Amino acid sequence: MIRVDVPGKLFVAGEYAVLEPGGAAVLVAVDRFLTVRATPHDSRRTVTSEHTGGRIVDFTGAPRPVVAAVAVVERLAMDAGRRRIGFELDIRSALDEADGRKYGLGSSGAVTVGVVRALGALYGFDLKAGEVVKLALLSVFSDDPHCSGGDVAASALTGWVAYRSPDRARVAEWWSDPRTSLGDLLSRPWPLLAVENLAAPRALELVIGWTGRPAKSRSLVAAVRAGISEAGFRRFREESDACVARLVAALDEGDDQGTAHAVAEVGLLVRALGELAGVVIETPELADLRVRAEALGGVAKSSGAGGGDCGIALLPAPEDVETLRRSWRAAGVVPLDLRVHTSDDRRKGDLR
């Protein structure tokens, strides 16, 4: 039996811009996990998860991210001349609460990474992190060609991660070409794609709060794109990418002040994008979360598409963390006991 524990993620910077080819983002992996157990079987190929009601079902009846990930790993196996095997996949997630409350920690990306790693190991592949990222991206793009893929990168590499999204159209062209083996697709550089681990801030404390309101990211993204001109979104994208570049440089240099300033800049850009598009990205709860962090000398912003889910704060004084959490509770924001998760065995697979 193979067991794989995959962390969830949160966006620090680059939301919306990363949905475009070459768009840049910074994310963190957090210490809540989705677990995939893969066991070989003589004949059947099944999945058990919360989404199946705990029932054992044929894998074709599993959620789409699982089906897509299985298909990618099996193509890798067939291209390598390995025979198809039977398997039982058991998927258990702690990324959401048992009562169904969702925090926006990237369940789809985590399950994709988990199935790729677990089933890949069952087939005997020793996949590096960069290979897992590419296989998982092929899976998620086949299910949703417009998603960012950032959650996949964070869950696969763990820690603080810089991500630049690939040219999806070019990758899809390669993927659909029957002359292209999956092994070749993994070994060649992908246009625009870049993934690398970053140093964590030296002294800034990352604090995470949940608004109590789940967000529908796809609907928000569609509303933003419908409410803004191409030229307006292009300007936002350029400014966001520049902020993310400053954030990456500050993290690499151990410049906590520069890190906080860049995160504040990105937050301001995202709020302006929502106002320009006529879409509520920063809800009143997220605004309250931000203002209360700023009152303690920190910076804060929504994480991900906004409209609910989580916000993040960076505080320069560790002693202020509990003060902020109490302040958030008084405003109805739920502090989450989450920390950045960095795997002991990341087997770095930076793609640059």
Comparing CA positions, the residue from 83, 82, 42, 20 lying closest to residue 225 is 20
- CA distance readout (Å), 120 to 41, 72, 127: 15, 10, 7
Quick one: pLDDT at residue 216? 84
Q: Summarize pLDDT for 72-102 with one digit per residue, the tens.
A: 999 999 999 999 999 999 999 999 776 667 8
Q: Summarize pLDDT for 190-230 with one digit per residue, the tens.
A: 999 999 999 999 999 999 999 988 888 889 999 999 999 99
Identify any residues that bridge with 163 across adjacent strands, giving them in sequence order: 25, 195
For residues 330 and 344, the model is more confident at 330
Q: Assign 284 a pLDDT band (cuts: 50, 70, 90).
A: very high
Comparing CA positions, the residue from 319, 310, 315 lying closest to residue 337 is 310
SS3 call for 27? strand
| pTM as predicted | 0.95
Burial bucket for residue 352 (CB in 10 Å: 0-12, 13-18, 19+): exposed
Report, as an integer, the average pLDDT of 296-325: 96
Rounded to whole angstroms, the Cα distance separating 226 from 218 reads 12
Within 10 angstroms of residue 142's Cβ, the number of other Cβ atoms is 17
Considering only CA atoms, give the Rg of the chain.
20
Rounded to whole angstroms, the Cα distance separating 282 from 265 reads 14
